[in-house]
Amino acid sequence: MSVYEIGLRLQGKSVLVVGGGSIAGRRVPRLLAAGARVLLVAPEATTTLSDYAAAGEIQWERREWRSGDGDDAWFVLAATDAPEVNAAVAAEAEARRTWCVRADDAAASDAWTLAHAEFDGVSVAVSASGDPRRAAAVRDAVAAGLRTGEIEAPRNRTTRPAGVALVGAGPGDADLITLRGLELLRQAEVVVSDRLAPQELLDMLGEDVEIVDAAKLPYGRHTTQEQINAVMVERALEGKFVVRLKGGDGFVFGRGAEELDACLEAGVPVEVVPGLSSSIAGPAAAGVPVTERGVVHDFTVATGHVPPGPQSKVNWTALGAGNGTIVLLMAVKNRAAIAAALIEGGRAPETPVRIVENATTKNQTVRECALADLGVTEAHHPSVIVIGDVAGRAREL
């Protein structure tokens, strides 16, 4: 079967959805994203749909479908578990010359919902003669090509974003950057990158993209934060779109707030794209949950860049006295002093510890020890150190 593909602009228009099951749960978010005013008619609904109704994002009438429900609708989705109800909804819609999708029977449906993906302002919709699995497979292949750059989607320069985007690139594996972060990176004219940002992401950039190395090696040479701020602002004021690419999340011990303030003070438009923080992703990649039901109900993320003492703003005594998970970033150099402070504060010397080095990358290494032995256990930058009962319950992945 062939179809005539078309895009519906549903902003402010009424859409009737009959049935509150999983299919409706998948379709309603896209209808809302398109700006449609959704009327849901169903005796019961999924948690997601009921949450939409509670928030006032959709209108939900908790009852069976009745003739006339679609009188004001521009588009109808029949998605109940009863074929006879879907057939009746579709027949009434056809009589009123309103397009209707029957979720249960593609052959009997006058309209189909196409397999859809969106990236960098490009929307892709695929039909495959009524075969949803095949359509989804092709959709996924095209979407992957757009994300990796294998499929070019040239952008009109006039639509390029302005200013600066502060993008968290995730814990190490290039695949763990968010779709929004990747979308903006593909449009960048200048990229200011840290050494902990996945370098594979830089390989996908065009030759005309300026890459500024803002590497800051621990306890060695470094670019000052003021220099980084100045480069971002200067390039943005020249009219170039700048992406500040940082490992993990720039707002977790990453000075993202300082960079945000620099842009705002200079009047430069700025967007923040959160990244997957290594403080949580690192342990998870090693099979260590930072919390676990019945084991621990809290966790603290602390920087070990400054050793325990007058200059540290971390209350190591309080952390030692607690029983929650402690996650340490930038703590390799000071790990012995930190372990001693925690034990002095009351944490048991035999408390399990896991050291996750180069988390999520092909070079990931996991070492285990007791807290008392942390100072003499091998560890290298970049590492995430997990202290607490959950560290003794690690799973082999």
Give the largest Cα separation in the chain, rounded: 79
Strand bridging mode 115-119 / 122-126: antiparallel
Separate counts of helices (H) and strands (E) for the chain: 11, 17
> Which residue type, as a one-letter code, is found at position 105?
D
* Rg of the chain taking only CA atoms, in angstroms: 26
Q: Residue 242 in contact with residue 136, Cβ under 8 Å?
A: no
In 28-74, which ranges are E strands?
A: 37-41, 59-61
Strand bridging mode 325-329 / 299-303: parallel
The catalytic site residues sit at: 194, 216
Question: Rounded to an integer, what distance in angstroms lies between the CA atom of residue 31 and that of residue 191?
Answer: 35
- Ranges of H-type helices in 224-352: 225-237, 256-265, 278-285, 316-321, 335-345
